[in-house]
């Protein structure tokens, strides 16, 4: 059985006033390209561009009997490039018109074929043009998707909202620091908006045309993390079947956001420090040094200063990454923002889940302000989404936002005065507020770590 031809992407239009040329070129090229259009009348070129995507035009140089100066060819070349500046035009010229064809190259055509052509040479010329057309198209697609992504990012950071003095203070510092290349360290509990803050800084920086590349240090094992960060050469370890650029390299001229930096091992800290000091690095398995120019933003919810004292985080690295240090306030410290955030999230979720009639009374909003949100804005956002999804009626109540984690403030079990129940409730609450950190929870409860440990075990609290 005859195998199907290996068609190439790329649409071709052939324009010539000689029907014989059109037919033979079309018959030949149709074996290799899916779409080959032909046109006898050059005045109709525009119609083809209105109907179809055209990547390559094969254009005759002379369309009037007795006129061989190529004037027509130049005229239509100009028309085509005006309609579609990216299209590739190849002139078809009679043998002997080579000088004119060279002029045509200067005028914006990319190549020429002589008539009559040799099939092999003819095909090679068009295939080469087609490769160029395809890579131009890929670049165009990449530019479009890059633009789309940065518009999305810009939209997202427009939603970096709040009126609480603590938040405004931090945001103001961010605005000032964005346009510099200073390293920024974002501290704060989970869900306080450190990731969004990093995007905000990048979006407002002079590097916003380039990407912000993120690495979540908490999500990667040490060996994967190093190859993600530095990249590797083919064969540098068992699974390295190909060369791969690391994220450091991808962030060149842009921003590198290292999330959960507190999770970096000591050996990775040493390597990162050396990159920051020398502004050079090597891919794993290579000695070639690559220059790097990145703006660094780091974030963590871990106590880096305590970790320095304990010897688990390098002091010199801390001083490299904390040129400007910002602490994202917890939601508890910006309760005044709850109505604003609620408004913002509600309108998004009402639209997403097509429940536009939903509303909530000021009393219920006030109750939300009295609830605990140990997971901060992320938890509040998820609670709002859940409340919208589960709502059976148009009036939302604060209790619709409650989950196992969010209990009313001052909320030892309200209908029980049993001492043991109260103790369990207080311990659970302290553990929630401090996200399971026993030292901090014990401090809050006014007991020592060991005493808290014993109680956690006794009551089976996780």
Ligand X SMILES: Nc1ncnc2c1ncn2[C@@H]1O[C@H](COP(=O)(O)OP(=O)(O)OP(=O)(O)O)[C@@H](O)[C@H]1O
What would the two tokens of residue 299 be? 């974030």
* Residue 269 contacts ligand X per CB under 6 A: no
Residue from the set 381, 388, 430, 432 that interacts with ligand X by CB under 6 A: 381
Cα dihedral 450/452/454/460 (nearest 10): -150
- Beta-carbon neighbour count of residue 51 at 10 Å? 9
* Shortest separation between residue 371's beta carbon and ligand X, angstroms: 17
> How many angstroms separate the most distant Cα atoms in the chain?
109
Write out the DSSP string of 293-329: --EEEEEESS-HHHHHHHTSS-HHHHHHH-SEEEEPP
How many C-beta neighbours within 10 Å does residue 14 have? 22
Q: Which residues pair with 257 in a beta bridge?
A: 214, 297
Residue 348 CB coordination number (10 Å): 15
The one among 10, 195, 262, 374 contacting ligand X by CB under 6 A:
195
Q: Is 174 a residue that touches ligand X (CB under 6 A)? A: no
- CA 292 – CA 287 distance, rounded (Å): 15
CB of 35 vs ligand X, minimal distance in Å: 45
| Binding flag, residue 126, ligand X (CB under 6 A) | no
Write the binding mask 340 to 369 for ligand X: x where contact by CB under 6 A, - elsewhere: -x----------------------------
Instruction: Give the residue, chosen from 11, 62, 183, 192, that forms a contact with ligand X under the rule CB under 6 A.
Output: 192
In angstroms, give the least distance from the CB of 340 to ligand X. Answer: 8
Of 123-131, 155-163, 247-255, 410-418, which segment contacts ligand X by CB under 6 A?
A: 155-163
Q: Which is nearer to ligand X, 160 or 426 (CB)?
A: 160
Pair 32, 8: CB distance under 8 Å = yes
436 forms part of the interface with ligand X (CB under 6 A): no
Under the binding rule (CB under 6 A), the answer on residue 160 touching ligand X is: yes
Which tokens is 325 given? 């240090």
Does 32 engage in binding with ligand X (CB under 6 A)?
Answer: no
Q: How many residues line the site for ligand X (CB under 6 A)?
A: 17
Is 329 near ligand X (CB under 6 A)? no
Cα dist from 265 to 26, 187, 222, 225, 240, whole Å? 63, 19, 7, 10, 22
Considering only residues 94, 132, 161, 164, which one is a binding residue for ligand X as defined by CB under 6 A?
161
**Per-residue b/e over 151-182, b at no fewer than 16 CB within 10 Å?**
eebeeebeeeebebebbeebbeebeebbeeee
Scan for tokens 């010329």, then name that residue: 125
Single out the residue of 196, 261, 430, 441 in contact with ligand X (rule: CB under 6 A). Answer: 196
Helix, strand or coil, per DSSP, at residue 228 = helix
Stretch that binds ligand X, among 359-367, 377-385, 412-420, 428-436 (CB under 6 A): 377-385
- Is 194 a binder of ligand X (CB under 6 A)? yes
Q: Quick check: 377 binds ligand X (CB under 6 A)?
A: yes
Taking alpha carbons only, the member of 168, 189, 164 closest to residue 339 is: 164
The residue range among 154-162, 222-230, 351-359, 385-393 that interacts with ligand X, by the rule CB under 6 A, is: 154-162
Verify binding: residue 117, ligand X, rule CB under 6 A: no
- Taking the CB of residue 45, how many other CB atoms lie within 10 A of it? 19
- Given 46, 378, 409, 455, the residue binding ligand X (CB under 6 A): 378
**To the nearest whole angstrom, how small is the minimum distance from the Cβ of residue 306 to ligand X?**
17
**Residue 202 binds ligand X, judged by CB under 6 A:** no
Residue in the shown chain whose Cβ atom is closest to ligand X: 193
Q: Which of residues 287-306 bind ligand X (CB under 6 A)?
A: 301
Instruction: Tell me if 5 contacts ligand X by CB under 6 A.
Output: no
Strand segments (E) across 271-397: 280-281, 290-291, 295-300, 324-327, 359-360, 395-396
Give me the least distance between CB of 214 and ligand X, in Å please: 10
**Closest separation in Å from C-beta 144 to ligand X:** 25
Q: Is 384 near ligand X (CB under 6 A)?
A: no
- How many CB atoms are located within 10 Å of the residue 131 CB? 12
Least Å distance between CB 151 and ligand X?
16
d(CA 11, CA 44) in angstroms, rounded, equals 17
Question: Is position 413 an interface residue for ligand X (rule: CB under 6 A)?
Answer: no
Q: From the CB of 341, what's the least distance to ligand X, in Å?
A: 6
Rounded CA gap, 55 and 60, in Å?
17
Q: Does the footprint of ligand X cover residue 49 (CB under 6 A)?
A: no
- Our finding on whether 320 is near ligand X (CB under 6 A) is no
What residues line the site for ligand X (CB under 6 A)? 159-162, 188, 190-196, 301, 341, 377-378, 381
């Amino acid at each position: 059985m005859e195998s199907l031809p290996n068609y190439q992407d790329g649409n071709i239009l052939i324009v010539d006033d000689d029907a014989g040329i059109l037919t033979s070129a079309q018959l030949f090229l149709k074996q290799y390209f899916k779409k080959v259009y032909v046109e006898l009348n050059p005045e109709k070129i525009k119609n083809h561009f209105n109907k179809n995507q055209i990547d390559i035009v094969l254009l005759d140089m002379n369309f009037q009997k007795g006129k061989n100066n190529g004037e027509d060819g130049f005229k239509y070349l100009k028309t085509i490039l005006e309609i579609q500046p990216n299209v590739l035009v190849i002139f078809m010229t009679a043998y002997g018109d080579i000088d004119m064809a060279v002029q045509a190259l200067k005028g914006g055509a990319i190549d020429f074929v002589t008539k009559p052509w040799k099939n092999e040479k003819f095909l090679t010329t068009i295939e080469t043009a087609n490769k160029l057309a395809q890579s131009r198209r890929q670049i165009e697609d990449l530019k479009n998707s890059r633009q789309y992504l940065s518009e999305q990012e810009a939209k997202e950071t427009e939603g970096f909202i709040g009126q609480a003095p603590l938040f405004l203070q931090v945001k103001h510092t961010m605005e000032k620091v964005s346009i510099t290349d200073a390293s920024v360290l974002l501290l704060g509990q989970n869900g306080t908006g450190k990731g969004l803050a990093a995007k905000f800084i990048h979006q407002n920086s002079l590097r916003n045309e380039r990407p912000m590349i993120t690495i979540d240090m908490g999500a990667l094992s040490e060996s994967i993390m190093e190859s993600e960060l530095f990249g590797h050469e083919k064969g540098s370890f068992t699974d390295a079947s190909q060369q791969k650029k690391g994220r450091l390299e991808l962030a060149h001229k842009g921003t590198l956001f290292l999330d959960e930096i507190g999770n970096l091992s000591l050996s990775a800290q040493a390597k990162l420090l050396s990159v920051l000091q020398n502004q050079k690095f090597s891919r794993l398995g290579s000695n070639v040094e690559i220059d790097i120019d990145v703006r660094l933003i780091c974030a963590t919810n871990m106590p880096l200063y305590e970790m320095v004292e304990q010897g688990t985080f390098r002091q010199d690295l801390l001083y490299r990454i904390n040129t400007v240090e910002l602490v994202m306030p917890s939601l508890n410290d910006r309760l005044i923002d709850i109505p604003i955030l609620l408004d913002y999230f509600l309108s998004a979720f009402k639209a997403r889940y097509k429940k536009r009639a939903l509303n909530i009374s000021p009393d219920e909003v006030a109750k939300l302000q009295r609830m605990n949100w140990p997971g901060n804005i992320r938890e509040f956002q998820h609670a709002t989404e859940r409340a919208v999804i589960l709502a059976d009626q148009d009036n939302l109540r604060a209790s619709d936002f409650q989950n196992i984690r969010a209990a009313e403030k001052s909320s030892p079990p309200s209908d029980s005065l049993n001492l043991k129940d109260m103790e369990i409730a207080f311990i659970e609450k302290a553990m929630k507020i401090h996200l399971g950190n026993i030292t901090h929870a014990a401090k809050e409860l006014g007991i020592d770590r060991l005493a808290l440990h014993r109680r956690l075990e006794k009551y089976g609290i996780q």
